[in-house]
Amino acid sequence: MSGHGPLAELHPDYSDRSATALPWARAVDVLTRAEVFWLSTVRPDGRPHVTPLIGLWSDGALHFCTGPLERKARNLAKNPEVVVTTGDNALSRGLDVVVEGRAVPVTDEARLVRLAELWEAKYGADWHFEVHAGAFTNVAGDRAEVFEVAPRKAFGFGKGEPFSQTRWLFG
């Protein structure tokens, strides 16, 4: 992504006449504040799989972790393309955000240490992780692989006055 941010386009068919394309900063604010995200992956047989999870926005990407034997991890091993959603979950106010991208494993120890610090700062001591062998480990010693999703395309659904649908395209 360039320093200018993504290209923002308003979809007039799904927006009030007075709406304008929302700045990417509004979506980043939602992604930063969100506590719960919904991750959509594809099972090996092509059926969708959707699951709620915690995550954090850092360095221009959404990060989440999962145990290596969980369904989402097994799906990602076959197809790393994902959709992640979050938002206000209300009909008449707020902004819902949908991010499309590729879930890429994060294995760099220094990055993982920083992400572990951010995880605990956001979610509290119950989410304390150590870093071993390119992954998180919890107090029980369970391994959690970390993934980042840099947006390729994102959508913002503004609700209330005015309703809007903004699409952001990343270069």
Residue 165 dihedral angles phi and psi, to the nearest 5°: -135, 115
CATH of the domain at 165: 2.30.110.10
Asked whether the CA dihedral 134, 138, 139, 140 is positive or negative, the reply is negative
Residue type for position 130? E
The verdict on residue 145 lying in a domain is yes
Residue 123: burial class (beta carbons within 10 Å; 0-12, 13-18, 19+): middle
Q: Which residues pair with 84 in a beta bridge?
A: 39, 99
Q: How confident is the model at residue 1 (pLDDT cuts 50, 70, 90)?
A: very low
Confidence class for position 3, pLDDT limits 50, 70, 90: low
Assess if residue 112 is contained within a domain: yes
Is 91 a member of any domain?
A: yes
Q: Does the residue 13 lie in any domain?
A: no
Domain extent, residue 86, equals 22-169
Domain assignment present for residue 125? The answer is yes
- pLDDT tens across 116-139, in order? 999 999 999 999 999 999 999 999
The reply to whether 165 falls in a domain is yes
Number of domains the chain is built from: 1
Alpha carbon of 164 to those of 13, 21, 153, 155: distances in Å?
9, 8, 17, 10
Nearest alpha carbon to residue 66 among 28, 78, 75, 100: 75
Q: Is the pLDDT reported for residue 66 higher than 50?
A: yes
Confidence of residue 5 (pLDDT cuts 50, 70, 90): confident
Cβ atoms of 128 and 58 closer than 8 Å: no
Q: pLDDT category, 2, cuts 50, 70, 90?
A: very low
Q: What number of CA atoms fall less than 13 Å from residue 155's CA on the CB side?
A: 12
Q: Is residue 4 part of a domain?
A: no
Query: Global pTM?
Result: 0.94
Residue 7 in any domain: the answer is no
Q: Comparing 84 with 171, which gets the higher pLDDT? A: 84
Q: Is 33 exposed, middle or buried (0-12, 13-18, 19+ CB in 10 A)?
A: exposed
Q: Is the pLDDT of residue 111 over 60?
A: yes
User: Residue 166: which pLDDT band, with cuts at 50, 70 and 90?
Assistant: very high
